[in-house]
Amino acid sequence: MDSQGIIAQFFKKTWLAYVISIVLHGLANLVHVQFPRVLGEFTDQLQLKQLTWEGIVQAGWALLLIGVCFTVLGGIAQYLVMYTGRYFEFMNRRRLYHHFLDLSERFYANHGVGKLLSYFMNDVTAVRESISQGINQTANATMLLISTITMLLMSNVPLYLVMICIVPLLLIPVIVVWIGPIIKRRSMKVQEALSAMTASAEEQFAGIRVTKTFAVESIMNERFGETVDTIRNRQLRLVRMSSLFQATIPFLGSLSLIVAMVYGGYLTLQGTITLGSFVALTLYVRMLMTPLQQLGNVINVVQRARASLERLNALLAEKKEIVQLEDAKELPLDNMSIELRGLSFSYEELAAEEEVNDEERSYAGNRHMALRNIALSIPAGTTLGIIGRTGSGKTTLMKLLLRLYDPPPNTIFYGGQDIRELKLSSLRENIGYVPQDGFLFSTTIRENIAFSKRDIEQEEVIEAAKQAKIYDNIMEFPKRFDTTLGERGITLSGGQRQRTSLARGMIKKAPLLILDDSVSAVDSITEAEILHNLAKQRKGRTTIIIANRVSALKQADQIIVLDQGTIVQQGKHEQLVQQEGLYRTLYELQEEGTRNGTRDS
Ligand SMILES: Nc1ncnc2c1ncn2[C@@H]1O[C@H](COP(=O)(O)OP(=O)(O)OP(=O)(O)O)[C@@H](O)[C@H]1O
């Protein structure tokens, strides 16, 4: 999307409001520029001693009428633009959120939440301000400029005097061209610093417990202070430039006024122009200063907003990494067998498709492979167990099965169909995935469990809670299933959170269920009960269980052992414990641990 993208779409919807507002601004200013004319005529009549009491009252009413009309028309025009500006925020925050939902796992792995919040808050607001203020003030200032100059030319003031008075104003475009880009650059730096601060604040709040338990408040305070200092320094640099710019424009206006006073005064003394013309001239030149100041302000704000607009457009131009084919197919639910053929994967993006130099190419060749040449068949309705050291690629394999990252073509098949040819919604709706760190939303327990099926019967929610062995805990909470979690409610323990998340996965009764180390935080007895319930519920359905404890995998139809992204052992529990290797080592260590634990107690 080009940099006009956001703005063009917005004006397409709101142009009428802006047209009305500009017309109203025009009318308001046409009325406003009558002010010097009325005063000029008043002065002439006063000097010629032709002024009567009725004349004074009439001039008073005329000025009052001018003031009221200007206020009402200008006020409505301003309201319209401000109102529409708020609509800009609403429209684009929704649009950004929609776009965020489309972005890939890789994008989120590389961008902190704080940074993304900054787009929502700071950048959208900066653009909105520039649109609202920009349009209001530009419309107002342009109309006032045009009408003031027209009135000046139509007045009795000689043309050469008008031309001499406005010479200093001709310097304005030169200054705009010089300072404008500097303001934009400095603004971009401020937005980046704000973004860094939001990201840092988000991280600091998320890690506040670690900070406190390690008693490193002062270090974190200093670290956060640095981000705030950066903002201050950059903002000061921006403010210095903006102020210089904004002060220069009225200064040039004042120069015009000085020329009008000195030269106009001289011509009045000489009798070349009347006193009324002199008053009108000085008032008109004074009147020119307001629109000039407004235009200076607009240019300032617009330059700042351009920096934000560029950031927003760059974000909106961020492409979806996972793309669904036009003729994508449904997941073959009648055959949920899974086949992995020579699957290798690295998180580092493929540089080969882009123009790269030799050094980068050799780096691409040496990419760290999270998975290497995985070949595996999981017949429909069976249970696969996966075990392996930390960082061996277990979660990566699951993310590829969900197509959160794109696997290479012809490497993952569901029922004989390449995963890349399947509809994303069909794939993900039919897979229940219980991740390691079961994130729960700040809503009720019921809504967390029934996350994918909001209108499901309460009995099913209860059944899922019982199967995941969280039911008894829930019944102890004051509002049971209606208990609110998170910020506004209670905090669950790690084990309770994990089991609630497990219930959320189990209630889906999906053709494929993946448990990614989902029972690690429960004791062995509860683990055995959960696995028993799971085996009953999942009979005839494909299930993948990743675990660090051998005990969780004993019943699996087949088990694979991953090490550094490769399958190093494969078979049933009974076979693997007979073989020399990682599985037996883990088994023996864990059995010994259990025996020691039992003896000690
Ligand atoms: N988003 C990512 N970007 C880059 N590298 C990643 C990313 N996620 C994981 N990795 C790397 O890929 C490798 C495999 O990670 P993975 O999370 O699949 O391991 P795992 O077996 O699930 O580990 P654990 O048991 O500790 O959860 C590791 O070397 C890890 O550092």
Average of per-residue pLDDT across 556-573: 92
Q: How far apart are CA 315 and CA 117, in angstroms?
A: 12
Residue with tokens 């000097």: 47
pLDDT at 69: 92
Q: Which atom of ligand 1 is nearest to the CA of 348?
A: 4
- How far away, in angstroms, is 571 Cα from ligand 1 center? 24
Average of per-residue pLDDT across 107-112: 79
Q: For ligand 1, atom 16, name the residue with the nearest CA.
A: 393
Pocket test for ligand 1, best of 105, 343, 367, 392 (most atoms within 8 A of CB): 392
pLDDT in tens, 110-153: 777 777 887 878 888 888 888 887 877 787 788 888 888 888 88
Q: For ligand 1, atom 30, name the residue with the nearest CA.
A: 391
pLDDT in tens, 176-235: 778 878 888 888 888 888 888 888 888 888 788 788 777 788 888 888 888 889 989 999
Q: How far apart are CA 559 and CA 562, in angstroms?
A: 10
Pocket lining: 349 vs ligand 1, CB cutoff 6 Å = no
This model of the complex carries an ipTM of 0.96
Residue 584 and residue 409 in contact, taking contact as beta carbons nearer than 8 Å: no
Q: Which of 21-25, 45-49, 67-71 has the highest mean pLDDT?
A: 67-71
Residue 196 and residue 228 in contact, taking contact as beta carbons nearer than 8 Å: no
Element (H, E) at 558: strand 558-563
pLDDT at 456: 85
Element (H, E) at 292: helix 275-316
Q: Is 338 exposed, middle or buried (0-12, 13-18, 19+ CB in 10 A)?
A: buried
For domain 5-316, the CATH superfamily is ABC transporter type 1, transmembrane domain (1.20.1560.10)
pLDDT in tens, 289-345: 778 777 777 877 787 788 888 888 888 888 888 888 888 888 887 778 899 999 999
Q: For ligand 1, atom 9, name the residue with the nearest CA.
A: 396
pLDDT at 360: 43
pLDDT in tens, 427-453: 988 899 998 877 888 888 999 998 887
Domain boundaries, the chain: 5-316, 331-430+544-601
Per residue in 546-572, is it b (16+ CB within 10 Å) or e — as a string? bbbbbbbbbebebbbbbbebbbebeee
Sequence-distant (6+) residues with CB within 8 A of 483 are: 444, 445, 474, 477, 489, 490
Q: For ligand 1, atom 18, name the residue with the nearest CA.
A: 393
Q: Name the least confident of 168-172, 247-251, 352-356, 382-386.
A: 352-356
- How far away, in angstroms, is 549 Cα from ligand 1 center? 19
Q: How far apart are CA 202 and CA 405, in angstroms?
A: 26
CA-to-CA separations, 303 to 176, 240, 300, 418, 581, in angstroms, rounded? 10, 15, 5, 49, 65
Side-chain-side CA neighbours of 501 within 13 Å: the count stands at: 25
- In degrees and rounded to multiples of 5, residue 343 shows phi and psi of -80, 120
Pocket lining: 370 vs ligand 1, CB cutoff 6 Å = yes
Pocket test for ligand 1, best of 347, 404, 563 (most atoms within 8 A of CB): 347
Pocket test for ligand 1, best of 110, 389, 394 (most atoms within 8 A of CB): 394
Report the C-alpha dihedral over residues 383, 389, 392, 397, rounded to 10 degrees: 20
Pocket lining: 555 vs ligand 1, CB cutoff 6 Å = no
5-316 shares its CATH topology with 331-430+544-601: no
Residue type, 228: V
Percent of all residues in the chain with a pLDDT value above 70, rounded to a whole number = 94
Instruction: Look up residue 260 and give its two tokens.
Output: 């009008």
pLDDT category at 490 given cuts 50, 70, 90 is: low
Pocket lining: 109 vs ligand 1, CB cutoff 6 Å = yes
Instruction: Look up residue 119 and give its two tokens.
Output: 């787009």
Average of per-residue pLDDT across 60-72: 91
pLDDT category at 349 given cuts 50, 70, 90 is: low
CATH architecture label of 331-430+544-601: 3-Layer(aba) Sandwich (3.40)
Q: How far apart are CA 283 and CA 168, in angstroms?
A: 17
Q: Which of 432, 434, 572 is nearest to 515 (CA)?
A: 434
User: Is it the case that residue 266 has pLDDT exceeding 90?
Assistant: yes
pLDDT category at 570 given cuts 50, 70, 90 is: very high
pLDDT at 359: 46
Element (H, E) at 385: strand 383-388
Residue 276 and residue 44 in contact, taking contact as beta carbons nearer than 8 Å: yes
Q: Which of 100-104, 453-457, 510-514, 533-537 has the highest mean pLDDT?
A: 510-514
